[in-house]
Chain A
Amino acid sequence: MTDDPTITVSEKYLHDIKRKLSDYETLIDVSSIISSTLKLDDLMNLVMEKAKQELDAEACSILFYNRDTDKLEFEVALCAEDCASDILKKKIVLDMGQGIAGWVAANMKPLVINDVGSDPRFFADADKMTGFTTKSIIAVPLIGRGGLIGVAELINPRKKDYDIEVFNILCGQFAIAIENALFHREVVEQEKLKQELDIAAALQKSFLPELPVFGKGNVLVSAVNIPAEQVGGDLYDFIVPSDDKIGVFIGDVSGKGVSGALYMAKIISDFRFIALQSDSPEIAFNRLNAMLANAPRGMFLTAVYIIADVNTGELKVSVAGHPPFLRIGNDGVYVEDMAGAPPIGILPVEYPMTVIHLNKGDRLLLFTDGVYEAKNRDSKRIGFDAFVDFVSTNKDEENLIKAVTDYVENFSEGVARADDITLLEVKWLG
């Protein structure tokens, strides 16, 4: 017996221990990379660069699974040539089951192929397009909590002495990190979008009249505007084109969000400029139509412009593709679907003008389509006819605008408002 605690191990045993140590080091390295960032691009580049380096691979790539199209798309490709990476990202999309990545995605199993030339699953077109030569490949599915995220591939690894199990564990961690980063990106984007929509709503509001009630002579106008979650681009305005006239304008810009609000801002400033120089509504619309002829992205404006004589109750009305408005008299509610022309900003047209007279106690109710197109939980819309019926039944309400907005809000309770709601009531007090 000797006190020396020497034990003898084989070269292979030592080698295996060293390899395991190195594997653990890699696992620790990747874990720290994974927890170092929530930025998706940084995360993928760092992890794939590390994997490429560990296996001494010539290239690596990540394909993301697109649930909408059921296809795989290149998200990251790290190769010696940047142009090859561009070609992969822009031009190559794989079906599930197509190529090695497609097989791995469809079967959710890793695949190691030492000679791709002899494997019928290999998709040679990618090499043809990039000029790259794939000899061997390791492909592992990236599976997160919500299912398949994509496939990670290492191309031409020179190190053959690796443990596919370790690579599998790494990819499991990596998949969860990608999921977290995607979730983070979504939260950040939602926050950014919310901020932009808040700006759009504030911008839209700043262009509307300061007070929602405006009176002159025998005419009293009141308005309400409730912006949608996405900010719909509704607008209204009161103008005094001359001493004995009042102009009442309601409109709806086709865009939503920031673009809708910006375009609405341009329209309202153009309209104010034009309206002060036009004593008839069709003249204002013809000029506005000419100014908005080159509207971006097909954007247009539907609108009604009424110029009322505050002494006589004579109204000159022009309609540009806007829904009909309602005339509420003592004897009933009438839909005023008068001659009109298409929305402003589409085609060079001449807008018609119609004259109507209001009698004592008559009212007009003008609105945007957000009112009767409001949806309920069952995705059913109010509909124009049902809306007219509601107004007919409730026409004697003290505050008709409030009754209507309550009706719309109750109808669509629990549903995010998809479009702005704007209502204008014009009362003839004479």
Chain B
Amino acid sequence: MEINIREYEGGKVIAVSGEIDLYSSPLLRKQLMVFVKKKESPLLVDFGGVSYIDSSGIATFVEGLKGVMSFGGRMKMFGIRPAIMEIFSFSKLDKVFEIYGTIDDAADSR
């Protein structure tokens, strides 16, 4: 798994790629918690490079989301591949996370 941070229209974009699992999720958690602590919002998550996510990975995003929501912020995901989207829709997590097609859709949403 790799994490890259970039700026987009004044917000932070966290781009994750590879497999997010039990072994890689602690690194992701560390990064998300830094943003939660700094009260970054909206936090845009680029899922384009994610090839697999297990329940530990999803739990990490749930923790991040709860953290962002605690200060009234938002976390928006975009670019989720169909295979990953299946996991999100099977588990009804598409009702938990804000999910968009592209970064512009995510950034423009109110």
Q: Chain A interface (Cβ within 8 Å of chain B)?
A: 230, 252-257, 297-300, 302, 319-324, 340-343, 346-347, 349, 369, 384, 418-419
Select which of A253, A299, A321, A418 is within 8 A of B93 by beta carbon: A321
Residues of B55-110 whose CB lies within 8 A of A: 55-56, 58-66, 86, 90-93, 95-96
Residues of B with C-beta under 8 A to A256: 22, 56
Q: Which residues of B contact A257 (CB under 8 A)?
A: 22
Query: Which residues in A have their C-beta under 8 angstroms from that of B29?
Result: 297
Q: Which residue of B lies closest to A343 (CB)?
A: B91
* Nearest Cβ on chain A to B109's Cβ, whole angstroms: 19
User: CB distance A254 to B90 under 8 Å?
Assistant: no
Question: Given A298, A342, A418, which contacts B91 in the complex, CB threshold below 8 Å?
Answer: A342
- CB-nearest residue of chain A relative to B32? A298
Q: Are B54 and A298 interface neighbours, CB within 8 A?
A: no
CB distance A254 to B55 under 8 Å? yes
Q: Is the CB of A347 within 8 A of B96?
A: yes
Chain A: interface secondary structure? Answer: loop
CB-contact partner of B56 in A254, A321, A340, under 8 A: A254
Please name the residue on chain A nearest to B55 by beta carbon: A254
Q: Which residues of A contact B91 (CB under 8 A)?
A: 302, 321-323, 342-343
CB contacts (< 8 Å) of B54 on chain A: these are: 418-419
Instruction: Determine the interface band of chain B, counting residues with CB < 8 A from chain A.
Output: 20 to 34
Chain B facing A: main interface SS: helix
Measured between C-beta atoms, what is the minimum distance from A354 to chain B in Å? 14
Contact A254 B92 (CB under 8 A): no
Whether B59 contacts A340 by the Cβ 8 Å rule is: no
Distance (whole angstroms) from the CB of B18 to the closest CB of chain A: 13
Of all chain B residues, which has the CB nearest A320?
B92
**Set of chain B residues within 8 Å of A253, measured between Cβ atoms:** 55
- Complex: how many Å from CA A401 to CA B19? 30
| A255 and B92 contact, CB distance less than 8 A | no
> What are 20 residue pairs bridging A and B, where the CB atoms are less than 8 Å apart in the complex?
A252-B55, A254-B55, A254-B58, A254-B59, A256-B56, A297-B63, A298-B66, A299-B59, A299-B62, A300-B62, A320-B92, A321-B92, A323-B91, A342-B91, A343-B93, A347-B96, A369-B55, A369-B90, A384-B86, A418-B54
A346 to B60, CA, bound (A): 12
The answer for the CA separation of A157 and B64 in the assembled complex, in Å, is 50
User: Is there an interface contact between B62 and A298, defined as CB atoms closer than 8 Å?
Assistant: yes
Q: Which of A230, A343, A419 touches B92 (beta carbons < 8 Å)?
A: A343
A263 to B96, CA, bound (A): 21
Which one of A298, A340, A341, A369 has the greatest number of beta carbons of chain B within 10 Å? A298
Contact B95 A298 (CB under 8 A): no
Contact between A230 and B93 (Cβ–Cβ < 8 Å)? Answer: no
Q: Other CB < 8 Å A-B pairs besides A255-B59, A321-B93, 6 of them?
A: A256-B56, A298-B65, A342-B95, A347-B96, A418-B54, A419-B54
A24 smallest CB distance to B (angstroms): 47
Contact of A298 with B92 in the complex, beta carbons under 8 Å: no
CB-nearest residue of chain B relative to A419? B54
Most chain A beta-carbon contacts within 10 A, residue among B21, B55, B59, B90: B55
Residue pair A342, B92 in contact (C-beta under 8 Å): yes
CB-defined contacts of B93 to chain A, threshold 8 Å: 321, 342-343
C-alpha spacing A83/B91, complex, angstroms: 50
Chain B residues, CB < 8 A from A418: 21, 54
Task: With A256-B22, A419-B54 as known contacts, state yes or no: A300 contacts B59, CB within 8 Å.
Answer: yes
CB-based contact B92/A340 at 8 Å: yes
Bound together, the chains give a CA A221 to CA B63 distance in angstroms of 35
Q: Across the two chains, which residue of chain B brings its CB closest to A337?
A: B90
- Of the candidates A300, A319, A341, the one having the most CB atoms from chain B within 10 angstroms of its own CB is A300
What residues of chain B lie closer than 8 Å to A324, measured between beta carbons? Answer: 90
Task: List the 4 shortest-distance A-B pairs measured between CB atoms, nearest first.
Answer: A298-B63, A298-B62, A254-B55, A321-B91
Cα(A298)–Cα(B29), bound, Å: 10
B1 nearest CB across to chain A (Å): 12
A322-B87 Cα distance, complex, nearest whole Å: 10
CB-CB under 8 A from B60, the residues of chain A are: 297-298
Q: How far is the CB of B68 from chain A (nearest CB, A)?
A: 12
Minimum C-beta distance from B81 to chain A (A): 14
What does the 1/0 interface line of B16-38 toward A look like (CB < 8 Å)? 00000110000001000000000
